[in-house]
Structure 1
Amino acid sequence: MIQQRANFDWMLTNLAKELPQIHQIVVLSSDGLCIARHGGDHDGADRLAAACAGLQSLAAAVATEIPESDGRMRLVVIEVTGGYFYLMAAGAGAYLAVLTDETVEAGLVGARMRDLVVRIGAHLTSPPRHDGRAG
């Protein structure tokens, strides 16, 4: 079960302080539910979480085409005009998404995200929801 959102706030804030080029951080479940966020507004975080659910599904489908792959998405990085988007698996059924500006050191974001996932990954699990309820 995912910890309460307040327990994640300080961890997300620390990541954003380490990399001031970060605009928004979202922790989400595999079905697109925003669990926690830093930066941006609530509606934007919900839209990002929903988009990430589709993206992680697409990435997993593509991964099945790689013979040595187990079909699980670990990291997606998208460069767009003005910045970068990162999506990383962060525990069973949970993901970490980060939006940055274009001045960020791209590899550093992935490394810091990985460090965060290692520290808190066991707490970033989200059981599948049935009829809108976890469990």
Structure 2
Amino acid sequence: MTLTSLKGWINTAPVANEGEALRYDNLRDQFAANASDVTAIVLLAEDGLKLCAYGMLEDTADRVAAACSGLQSLGNALSLAVGGGAAHHHNITLDQGHFVLTRCGDGSVLIALVRDGGVISGAIRETVRIARGFAPQMGTVSRVSSEAAQ
């Protein structure tokens, strides 16, 4: 997990069009400029579809997206059980680093992998700040509800 910057890394997720690719690269560049302890990012739809991934191999990003989709769902279930509404943030502390998950628009979750020894408070603050800034552009429509409407 030694990476000095995400800038220049390519998206390992398939992207539908050039506009999306530019938005995702801009998201990556914000992390590279403002969150030096973040070594990888993944953006996913809450249903588990990986939208973009930087700093991880594609198969690793797929596994992370699937697991984090489940974590987001679990967080929402826990919160709703006590009338807390939707879950917004999660921090998973690892032996070597942290995963920070935060909502990034309706139906999307942004995941940041923070390096071992990184300043977790700064990484969380920047991840949440960046996610809020990108939220209007990154929301996704539930595929279940859109398929049902057809």
Q: TM-score w.r.t. structure 1 length? A: 0.86
Match of residue 61, structure 1, among 77, 80, 101: 77
Aligned counterparts, 1:32-71, within 5 A: 32-67=48-83, 69-70=84-85
User: Where in structure 2 are there 5+ consecutive unaligned residues?
Assistant: 1-18
1:88 partner SS: strand
Q: TM-score w.r.t. structure 2 length? A: 0.78
Higher share in strand: 1
2:37–2:123: 8 Å Cα contact kept in structure 1? no
Question: What do residues 102-133 of structure 1 show as CA deviations (whole Å, max 9, x unaligned)?
Answer: 21111111111121122210111111114997
Which protein has greater RCO, CA pairs closer than 8 Å, 6+ apart?
Answer: 1
User: Where in structure 1 are there 5+ consecutive unaligned residues?
Assistant: none
- Determine the C-alpha separation between the residues in 1 that align with 2:142 and 2:70: 16
- Determine the C-alpha separation between the residues in 2 that align with 1:28 and 1:128: 12
Residue 126 of structure 1 corresponds to 140
1:12 partner SS: helix
1:126 partner SS: coil
Match of residue 112, structure 1, among 110, 120, 126: 126
Number of equivalences: 131
1:9–1:36: 8 Å Cα contact kept in structure 2? no
1:9–1:37: 8 Å Cα contact kept in structure 2? no
Moved more, 74-83 or 121-130: 121-130
1:64 partner SS: helix
**Structure 2 residue 41 is the aligned partner of structure 1 residue 25:** yes
- Determine the C-alpha separation between the residues in 2 that align with 1:101 and 1:12: 16
